[in-house]
């Protein structure tokens, strides 16, 4: 699992000088962002309307067929599983769960990061100490074993459990960044200006402070989503997910346990991993591009020669 997914280390102070409408334009003008966005869009379509992508013949991803371990063919584009299920159909239908895990866990972790990081920075004093400590404890706890313990505790590796576990273990990295950024904002004059104006603390945190951190929050979300995709796949691959669910990690688990690779069925073994990788890549590309968009210093330069 690559841990180093979340954003740049130095949040750019210029980050916030961007109008909202400009974001889409910026994405459209950034090749990496475009590629990432297109990939993500494709996955969203797959998740929303899987049936459109699966020809009527073998549409039910779970249906047990009588032709197990088939090689890819016109009928089964990516072959069949050990139970004779159509791999391609499974791949398409699995998008939904994998995407849900990524998005929900990403949102959840980001939400926690923001709440805890920003509160710590804004409240200061003992509250800051306590919250920072909590963050640090979660950071140094070995994540994966914790996940295993939690997943085991929850008894059943169903979707909710995995998502909750990913959120619980995924927020701390972001919270630290949030806190750092919020600290740098804390004494910015526009916040004091709001205070002098007579605004309440809660209003200042939520309405004045958070929007200026948008780019970091988005970067954080993308990083957390990437982390969630990869970790969830790892968990399911280890058999800690629900083996009856339809998701890429589960497909890999089955492929591994039914010996897809060693039995010469690479399409079955590799395609779910590739899907995970592509979803991951789309998040990583967006994240990377987002850095460029929010920090003009990182934008690619056209080299021009004087004279």
Footprint of Ni ion on this chain (CB under 5 A)?
A: 1-2, 230
Smallest gap from Cβ 52 to another protein, in A, equals: 25
DSSP letters, 115-183, are HHHHHHHHH-HHHHHHHHHHHHHHHHS-HHHHHHHHHHHTSS--HHHHHHHHHHHHHHHHHHHHHHHHH
Residue (of 161, 172, 180) closest to 224 by Cα position: 172
Residue (of 170, 167, 172) closest to 131 by Cα position: 172
Smallest gap from Cβ 5 to Ni ion, in A, equals: 7
The entry of another protein, Ni ion, none near residue 107 (CB within 5 to 8 angstroms by kind) is: none
Smallest gap from Cβ 3 to Ni ion, in A, equals: 6
What 3-state DSSP class applies to 80?
strand
The entry of Ni ion, another protein, none near residue 33 (CB within 5 to 8 angstroms by kind) is: none
Among 41, 49, 136, 201, binds another protein (CB under 8 A): 136
Smallest gap from Cβ 276 to another protein, in A, equals: 5
Which residues lie below 8 Å from residue 224, measured CB to CB, with a gap of 6+?
Answer: 5, 6, 105, 106, 109, 110, 113, 170, 171, 174
Stretch that binds another protein, among 41-49, 72-80, 104-112, 144-152 (CB under 8 A): 144-152
Burial string for 209-226 (b: 16+ CB within 10 Å, else e) reads bbebbebbbbbbbbbbbb
- Between 80 and 98, whose beta carbon lies closer to Ni ion? 98
- Between 5 and 78, whose beta carbon lies closer to another protein? 5
Smallest gap from Cβ 307 to Ni ion, in A, equals: 48
Stretch that binds another protein, among 8-16, 45-53, 71-79, 96-104 (CB under 8 A): 8-16
Per-residue tokens: 142 = 């070995």
Which residues lie below 8 Å from residue 50, measured CB to CB, with a gap of 6+?
Answer: 92, 93, 95, 96
- Contacts of another protein in 52-91 (CB under 8 A): 62, 64, 66, 68-69, 82-84
Helical ranges in the chain per DSSP H? 21-28, 31-48, 50-53, 87-123, 125-140, 143-153, 159-186, 189-197, 201-203, 214-237, 248-257, 266-294
User: For residues 48 and 217, what is the distance between their CA atoms, to the nearest angstrom?
Assistant: 25
Among 123, 128, 159, 199, binds another protein (CB under 8 A): 199
**Residue 124 found at the interface with another protein (CB under 8 A):** no
Smallest gap from Cβ 288 to another protein, in A, equals: 5
- Contacts of another protein in 155-174 (CB under 8 A): 155-157, 173
- Between 46 and 168, whose beta carbon lies closer to another protein? 168
- Contacts of another protein in 223-282 (CB under 8 A): 226, 230, 233-234, 237-240, 242-244, 252, 254, 256-259, 261-264, 266, 269-270, 273-274, 276-277, 280-281
What 3-state DSSP class applies to 86?
strand
Smallest gap from Cβ 185 to Ni ion, in A, equals: 30
Among 25, 197, 201, 206, binds another protein (CB under 8 A): 197
CA 76 to chain centre: 30
With CB under 8 A as the rule, give the number of residues binding another protein: 107
Smallest gap from Cβ 238 to another protein, in A, equals: 7
């Amino acid at each position: 699992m690559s841990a180093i997914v979340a954003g740049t280390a130095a949040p750019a102070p210029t980050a916030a000088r961007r109008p909202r409408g400009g974001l889409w334009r910026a994405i459209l003008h950034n090749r990496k962002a475009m590629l990432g966005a297109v990939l993500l869009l494709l996955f969203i379509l797959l998740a929303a309307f899987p049936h459109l992508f699966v020809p009527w013949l073998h549409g039910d991803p779970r249906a047990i067929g009588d032709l197990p371990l088939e090689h890819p063919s016109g009928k089964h584009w990516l072959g069949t599983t050990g139970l004779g299920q159509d791999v391609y159909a499974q791949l398409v239908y699995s998008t939904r769960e994998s995407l849900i895990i990524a998005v929900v866990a990403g949102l959840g972790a980001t939400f926690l990061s923001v709440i805890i990081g920003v509160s710590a920075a804004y409240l200061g004093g003992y509250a800051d100490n306590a919250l920072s400590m909590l963050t640090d404890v979660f950071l140094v706890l070995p994540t994966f074993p914790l996940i295993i313990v939690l997943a085991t505790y929850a008894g059943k590796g169903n979707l909710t459990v995995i998502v909750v576990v990913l959120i619980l273990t995924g927020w701390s990295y972001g919270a630290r960044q949030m806190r750092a950024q919020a600290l740098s904002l804390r004494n910015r004059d526009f916040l004091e200006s709001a205070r002098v104006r007579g605004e309440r603390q809660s209003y200042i945190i939520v309405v004045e402070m958070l929007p200026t951190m948008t780019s970091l929050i988005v970067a954080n979300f993308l990083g957390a989503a990437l982390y969630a995709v990869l970790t969830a796949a790892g968990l399911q691959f280890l058999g800690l997910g629900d083996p009856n669910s339809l998701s890429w990690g589960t497909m890999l688990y089955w492929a591994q346990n039914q010996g897809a690779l060693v039995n010469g069925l690479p399409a079955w073994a590799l395609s779910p991993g590739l899907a995970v990788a592509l979803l991951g890549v789309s998040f990583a590309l967006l994240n990377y591009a987002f850095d460029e968009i929010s920090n003009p210093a990182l934008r690619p330069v056209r080299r021009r020669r004087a004279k």
